[in-house]
Structure 1
Amino acid sequence: MSDSPLLVTCGLPYTNGHCHIGHLRTYVPADFYVRYLRHSGKEALFICGSDNHGTPIVISADQSGKTPREISELYHNHFDSTFKRMNVVFDRFGMTDDPTNHQRTRKIVQSLIDNGHVYQKTISQSYCPHCQMFLPDRYVEGVCPHCGTRARGDECDQGCGKHLEPGEIKDPVCKICGEKAEQREQEHYFFKLGDFSEFLQEYLPSLGGTTNARNYAIGWLKEGLHDWCITRTLDWGVKFPGNEDLVVYVWVDAPIGYMAFTEEWAEQNNGDWEQFWRGSQPITHFIGQDIIYHHCVFWPAILKGAGYATPNAVVASGMVKINDKTFSKSRGYVIWTNDDYLDQGLPADYLRYYLLAYTSHTKELNFSWDVFQQRINNELVDTLGNFLYRTLHFAANKLGGIPEGKPAPEICERIQATLDIVQTEMERYEFKNAIDEMMALASFGNSYIQNNAPWKLIKENRQEAEAVILNCLQIAKACNLLFDALLPEEAQKAWEMLGYTDSVATHTIAESTEGFAHNNLPKPSILFAKIEDETRDKLNGIMKIRIEEAEMSENTEMSKNTGNTEIPTEERITIDEFARVEMKVAKILAAEKIDGSKKLLKIQVTLGDEERQIVSGISQYYTPEELIGKSVVVVTNLKKAKLFGVESDGMILAAGDNAALLIPNEDVLPGTKIL
């Protein structure tokens, strides 16, 4: 770690959805790192903001009847408040759609143009004749030209994961109307990424941070660099200098947000943003593993080409799993930070601890409520919390406060050894190792007080009992100073139980071996409450409901007609295969909501000669009352399934995003087969 002021940034959350623990895998470690730096006497500036541009936000705005700015502000405020609830505190949390970022982006792009790193080129791009518009990024989907998998316009998200340039996707289909798109020519601007191969060959081997970021980037560099199209045909975004019919590609203006937010901080605090972005003060980016290419290849090249300083370190986190399943919002394998955690009354400090102590920062993190309960109860409650409480309780109740004197030299040596190891591991961004060492100090304190038994010693030699407790209090002080970066709420409570009246955040870790200037101790309280089995079961139940709802929605989605997307020949079924699907007209007799589910309805239908019960995920679109008496089309030969413990024998067919029911256009008897 440098003695110079350090700028730490986090990858910008995209304002098109809610915060989940996948986000926190980046922001909590970065906050821990910054707090630790400050406890170490370093000056650190912590910057972030929301990413507001790009086609997904425009699509969401169109669907919701809001403007893209309104959507962006809604989710910007959501992330801002959620981060604060998690005690992730930025010095500046800005928006890429604010004027500072527009201005800085246009200046940087103009510098790239002036320096000969941008050129104009006519390209063939997807165009929808029905909507009469060019289709940028996620307005179009089709087939990946590299692996043949279905893909969205800017990335092969279901297959090889390659970035796709405008016009590359095959068999394009408009996401708005579902019509087949055609190729039309349009002028766009490209960044000469290949100009920076030599620079990156020198830059990347010396890039600090985590090895996964550095090694991935070097691997991509060996594959060869391709020029990037840095314009899009949208009204929403930063207007391209000299051609305001186009906007700057979001992966240009988003990282420039780091610089713009630093400028905004400087303006509000009489600071100097150029010491970082034009000078030599260190810059460290904390990001997710999925955006390494953008931060280690594309972004440094832009900065170099425009004459700005480049990052000194990139710290990339591993991915997240839920219950050993691939993280997936659509399939229900997700933990929402507010709904599933904070709003359930769980402490932010517990989740901070789990995210950092479970595994190495660069490895895959598996979240499980069962393991969460075990780690919190065994480590925070039984180790750290137990040591702090038994020490403080004995000192306050049996000794009347902090005994006079100095801690034993061997105790200070043990604390200093912990400080040295923690420092080394923090410099390596091995946060789990650092926390393990911190917890080992608390465990040592537990063993020390247990082995010396001051509750027995005081009956024979009060002075020796006081010496034991003074040593334990010194260890407790060191634990407080170390754990404050990780557990800011609980560490502050423990600090006050040590008799301090100020903020623990204003003290340095070096004070861990310094004695006490006071002897008063208030009555202590238990810091950490156990996660009870009933709480764990409740949280598991919430996840189970979500997964079942997602499965139901997926089945419903399979029955929808999503447009005129052309299906590749090898994916088509034969007439014999289709004949196996039995569909009949049914009349709805009754419908009711299923307790605990927002999406599912329990529906009774008649097929003429029999009645059936079907569970359908259409509660968001229909009330039970308006369904009764309707004739619908049902798949009748599906295997029975149980959802929320309710048996479902069939599937009601619906079409489109609003689940429009498929109904006959004239009266047809229940049980009539669809031919």
Structure 2
Amino acid sequence: MHLPKRYLITAALPYANGLKHIGHLAGAYLPADIYVRYLRAQKRDVVFVCGSDEHGTAIPIQAMKEGTTPQAIIDKYHGIIKQNFADLSISFDIYDRTSSPVHHETSREFFTMLNDAGELETKETEQYFDEQAKTFLADRYIKGTCPNCGYDSAYGDQCEKCGTSLSPDELINPVSTLSGHPPVKKKTTHWYLPLNRHEEFLRQWILEDHKDDWRANVVGQCKSWIDGGLQARAVTRDLDWGIKVPLPEAEGKVLYVWFDAPIGYISATKQWAINNGKDWEPYWYDKETKLVHFIGKDNIVFHAIIFPVMLKLHGNILPDNVPSNEFLNLEGDKMSTSRNWKLDMQDFIDDFVNRENGGPQLVDALRYYLTQIAPETKDSEFTWKGFQDAVNNELVAIFGNFVNRAFVLMHKLTHGKVPPLHNELLDEKDHEMMDEIKKAKARIENLLEGYKFREAQFEVIDLARKGNKYMQEKEPWIKAKKKDAADATPEQSAAFQREIDNCMHICLQLCANLAILINPFLPNAARKMIYLMKVVEKMLDWENAGSMKLLSVGYSLRAPELLFRKIEDMEIQEQIDKLKNNSLPVPGEAAATTAEPAIAPVTDAPGHTAIKPTIQFDDFAKIDLRVGTILAAEKVEKADKLLKLSVDMGFETRTIVSGIALHFSPDEIVGKQVVVVTNLAPRKMRGIESNGMILMAEDAAGKLHFVRPESMINAGSGVS
């Protein structure tokens, strides 16, 4: 097999407009990381790039929701997402961002080259324009009634109730979300990439050259698009937020986010090269480079049709493969950010990794289960019960159990050292086990090279399962009793010990092999294993797999430590309850089946303030409530009522000015947890910018009390 000189591996750029959930992790980032870790173990020249996608309408829309600026939004979520990936052991060589100067420069150069070469065309079209806001409206800035289901708050690109993809022209009674007024049609000129010119190339390249080595879902979706006739696609749009089109006649226009985002792979490679004193160009121009895009199925068209056309026109190499996963559902339903039916990476980190008795072993537990259920060929489902079963019945009971038993028995039966192998006494079971170790390497390698990560991981666990079976059949503990029996002769005792030695030698060499083979999937467990074996990380090189000489005879190993812990029923029930309690109704549907009558304002109840006017659920849903921990407090000068608080929000520390100084001294509230309105627009008080508001309750005597959780929980936890 001819090996490329180098590999460039990309994972789809996540949108920096909010937290990312485990469906995203399972779709693109975890499989890419497994493949990259395997390539590194093979000592291949590989660069793994990714970064935040920070342009497009979703960013300013999120900024409006949070009462802040687009720049503040991308700075906030870029940092969170980057840290989430690091916490879950996703090993990018660089995690960049499309707001960087290098990316802006690279994208403008790309556009200019295509435009100057005549590969783009201009068209004048009519688009919706808000006369009050004096701006053209992107699809997400237009709402109206869905023609499919009648939902009256569908967006111009999709109805969030029925899921139908829409265009603004299809909406009934469209209005601008900026002004609330109906928009008008106005002429505008944009630049387009004429995909129709490249149908013949795409048909040959995808449907012929890659029909056998690309996944069926990728080839099938591409075939549907090509057979349907490709259309010219706009590469610019009328927006304030984005990369300015580098033409004097394009005032007020930016590059369309779908055009600039994949160029982010190139700019990230450039930045990696700058950071490491490398040459980036071979990774994008040398045909001896293997380019692989890991994506979810909603990105197939961009990475398998549109971006390859751009790369071809620009003179770059084309992707060798585009492994695309289907969607991951959650507890019987599709994951939905709008309905809060999801498990964010941050939530898993908070609830498992950062808790006592959490840490790297639970990072690997999540990686294991997501790989086991990876939606490689069809949609799959994450269930909390399935997660518990996978961890307890496989990681703990099979893989962890074998390694632990091997180390425990080594310390009991061979004085904590690797015993010798007595070749003259090897029997059929010994030879079968050693043969399985050698064969497993080739099977797993072939599966990883073919992007079949579920099957590859299964083979590793199955090898540990065979190790357990082998140990059970050899029964070294029974032989130890016979060796030490009062009626055993010295010759018999010596013979039993040699049989014990052989069994333990093979089991310990299997442990070393398991560390190498599991490393791409569960890197934290692999490193824990080489720590227990007192060997250097170089032992994890792939070339060492299959060897029966990884651990030297007579070498002392550390005392056993559990690789994984069981997931308790209580933890699972807590997550199920949390998911159900925090979920929101489908847009356009009531939260409950029976509508309750509106509560009339109370105006005459003694001792009670009047209830404020009724609001809709959507109004309440805009409020972002989170738990914070007060780190420091001090009085504000010349303000008797104000305290300046430093509050840990989990993802950042905020300054909040609160009018509670008459009720609490600074010392007595440090360390207390409070509920914070986190998306309140900043407000200056006595020259101090306050970023949030503390929720308080007032009793009949006028005394203030903190609204807070019953017991300490992680800062940043949501309140609903």
Q: What is the aligned counterpart of 2:503 among 449, 468, 472?
A: 468
Partner residue in 2 for 1:11: 12
1:249 aligned partner: 256
Judge conservation of contact 1:55–1:138 (CA < 8 Å) in 2: yes
Residue aligning to 1:542: 578
- Asked whether the 8 Å contact 1:492–1:503 carries over to 2, the reply is no
Q: CA deviation at 1:278?
A: 1.3
Work out the CA distance in 2 between the residues paired with 1:276 and 1:553. Answer: 45
The reply to whether residue 404 of structure 1 matches residue 420 of structure 2 is yes
CA shift in 2, pair 1:305/1:146, >3 Å:
farther
| Residue of structure 1 in register with 2:519 after alignment | 484
Structure 2 distance, partners of 1:627, 1:362, is 59
Residues 497 and 522 of structure 1 are in contact (CA less than 8 Å); yes or no, is this contact kept in structure 2? yes
Query: Is the 2:29–2:90 contact (alpha carbons within 8 Å) kept by the matching residues of 1?
Result: yes
TM-fit CA distance, 1:455: 0.7
Contact in 1 for aligned 2:161/2:586 (Cα 8 Å): no
- Do the aligned partners of 2:59 and 2:73 also contact (CA within 8 Å) in 1? yes
* Aligned twin of 2:449: 427
Give the AA of the match of 1:536.
Answer: I
CA distance in 2, matches of 1:212, 1:324: 22
- Listed one character per residue, the Cα deviations across residues 392-436 of structure 1 (whole Å, up to 9, x for unaligned) are 111123202101237855433211221121122212211111111
Query: Which residue does 1:606 correspond to in 2?
Result: none
**1:603 aligned partner:** none
Paired residue type of 2:504: I
Change (3 A) 1:294 1:620: closer
Q: How far 1:555 sits from its partner (Å)? A: 6.6
- Native 8 Å contact 2:49 2:265 kept in 1: yes
Q: Which residue of 2 aligns with 1:291?
A: 299
- Rounded to whole Å, the distance in 1 between the matches of 2:538 and 2:568 is 31
**1:74 Cα deviation from its structure 2 partner:** 1.1
**How many angstroms does 1:94 deviate by?**
0.5
User: Following superposition of structure 1 onto structure 2, how do residues 605-644 of structure 1 map, counting pairs within 5 Å?
Assistant: none
Q: 1:285 to 1:354 in 2, by over 3 A?
A: same
Question: Cα distance, 1:473 vs. partner?
Answer: 1.1
**8 Å CA contact retained: 2:128, 2:183:** yes
| Cα pair 1:41 1:508 within 8 Å, conserved | no
Specify the alignment match of 1:337 in structure 2.
Answer: 345
Amino acid in structure 1 at the alignment position of 2:576: N
Tell me by how many angstroms 1:178 deviates. Answer: 2.1
Q: Does 1:152 align with 2:187?
A: no
* Aligned residues of 2:175 and 2:181 also touching (Cα < 8 A): yes
Equivalences for 1:406-555 in 2 at 5 Å? Answer: 409-458=431-480, 459-460=482-483, 461-502=496-537, 505-506=540-541, 508-510=543-545, 512-517=547-552, 519-547=555-583, 550-551=584-585
| SS at structure 2 position matched to 1:313 | coil
Aligned to 2:641: none
Distance 1:174 1:552 in 2: 22
Superposed CA offset, 1:108-157 (max 9, x none): 11121122221122110111122221112311234678999875334566
Question: Does the C-alpha gap of structure 1 residues 134 and 557 become closer, same or farther in structure 2, counting only changes over 3 Å?
Answer: farther
Query: Shift of the alpha carbon at 1:163?
Result: 7.3
1:334-373 aligned within 5 A: 334-344=342-352, 345=355, 346=358, 347-373=362-388
Q: Percent identity?
A: 32
How far apart, CA to CA, are the structure 2 residues paired with 1:190 and 1:170?
28
Structure 1 residue 619, shift from structure 2 partner:
13
Among 265, 268, 271, the alignment partner of 1:264 is 271
**What SS is found at the alignment partner of 1:225?**
coil
Q: Indicate the residue corresponding to 1:667 in structure 2.
A: none
Which residue pairs with 2:334 in the alignment?
A: 326
Deviation at 1:462, TM superposition (A): 0.3
Distance in 1, matches of 2:145 and 2:177, equals 13
What is the SS of the residue equivalent to 1:41? coil
CA separation in 1, counterparts of 2:394 and 2:17?
A: 36
Q: Gapped runs of 5+ residues in structure 1? A: 560-579, 601-617, 629-675
List aligned pairs for 1:196-211, cutoff 5 A. 196-205=198-207, 206-207=209-210, 208-211=213-216
1:132-211 → structure 2 map (5 Å cutoff): 132-142=134-144, 151-155=154-158, 162=165, 164=167, 171-205=173-207, 206-207=209-210, 208-211=213-216
**8 Å contact kept, 1:491–1:504:** no
Report what 1:386 is aligned to. 401
Distance 2:133 2:591 in 1: 24
Deviations along 1:517-565, whole A, 9 cap, x unmatched?
A: 3511111111111011112122222212212xx2499777999xxxxxx
Describe the superposition over 1:589-638 as per-residue Cα deviations: whole angstroms up to 9, x where unpaired: 6799xxxx9979xxxxxxxxxxxxxxxxx99999686999xxxxxxxxxx
Q: Tell me how far 1:181 sits from its aligned partner.
A: 0.9
What is the distance in 1 between the residues matched to 2:534 and 2:550?
13
Which is worse superposed, 206-215 or 140-149? 140-149
Report whether the alignment pairs 1:224 with 2:229. Answer: yes
Asked if the contact 2:384–2:576 (Cα under 8 Å) also holds between the matched residues in 1, the reply is yes
Q: Following TM superposition, by how much is the alpha carbon of 1:65 offset from its aligned partner in structure 2, in angstroms?
A: 4.2
Specify whether residues 474 and 360 from structure 1 end up closer, same or farther in structure 2 by C-alpha distance, changes over 3 A only. Answer: farther
Assess, with a 3 A threshold, how the Cα gap between structure 1 residues 204 and 171 changes in structure 2: closer, same or farther: farther
**Contact 2:137–2:176 (8 Å) recurs in 1:** yes
Deviations for 1:651-670, whole angstroms, at most 9, x for unmatched residues? xxxxxxxxxxxxxxxxxxxx
2:35 maps to a residue whose letter is: Y
Q: How many residues align?
A: 584
| Cα distance in structure 2, aligned partners of 1:140 and 1:10 | 31
Superposition deviation, residue 368 in structure 1: 1.0
Deviation of residue 160 (structure 1)?
Answer: 7.1
Confirm or deny: 8 A CA contact 2:339 2:586 kept in the other structure.
Answer: no
Q: CA deviation at 1:29?
A: 1.3
Partners of 1:392 and 1:498 within 8 A in 2: no
1:169, distance to aligned residue in structure 2 (A): 5.9
Inter-partner Cα distance in structure 2 for 1:157 and 1:33: 35
**Residue 248 to residue 627, structure 1, CA distance change in 2 (3 Å):** farther
Rounded to whole Å, the distance in 2 between the matches of 1:3 and 1:284 is 12
1:191/1:229 contact within 8 Å kept: yes
Equivalent residues of 1:406, 1:515 under 8 A apart: no
**Cα distance in 1 between the residues matched to 2:204 and 2:588:** 48
Q: Secondary structure at the match of 1:235?
A: coil
Confirm or deny: 8 A CA contact 2:11 2:49 kept in the other structure.
yes
Q: Distance in 2 between matches of 1:187 and 1:170?
A: 25
Out of 439-448 and 513-522, give the one that drifted further.
513-522
Do the aligned residues in 1 keep the contact of 2:215 with 2:324 (CA within 8 Å)? yes
Q: Which segment is superposed worse, 181-190 or 168-177?
A: 168-177
CA distance in structure 2 between the partners assigned to 1:524 and 1:65 by the alignment: 53
**Aligned AA (1:28):** L
Q: Larger deviation: 521-530 or 152-161?
A: 152-161
Q: Could you tell me how far 1:3 is from its partner in structure 2? A: 4.1
Q: Is the 8 A contact 1:151 1:159 kept in 2?
A: no
Q: Whole-Å Cα distance in 1 between the matches of residues 160 and 306 of structure 2?
A: 19
For residues 349 and 161 of structure 1, the distance between their equivalents in structure 2, rounded to whole angstroms, comes to 37
**Alignment TM-score, normalising by the size of structure 1:** 0.80
When normalised by structure 2's length, the TM-score is 0.75
Name the aligned partner's letter for residue 436 of structure 1: F
Q: In the TM superposition, what is the alpha-carbon distance from 1:272 to its structure 2 partner?
A: 2.6
| Residue type at the aligned position of 1:331 | R
Letter in 2 for 1:390: R
Report the AA paired with residue 419 of structure 1. K
Measured after TM superposition, the shift of residue 466 of structure 1 is: 0.5
SS of the residue corresponding to residue 254 of structure 1 reads helix
Aligned CA distance change for structure 1 residues 147 and 291 (closer, same or farther; 3 Å):
farther
Deviations 1:179-232 (A, max 9, x none): 211111111111111111111011113345422112211221111101111111
Cα contact 1:40–1:510 (8 A) shared by 2: no
- Measured on the aligned residues, the alpha-carbon RMSD in Å equals 3.2
Partner of 1:38: 40
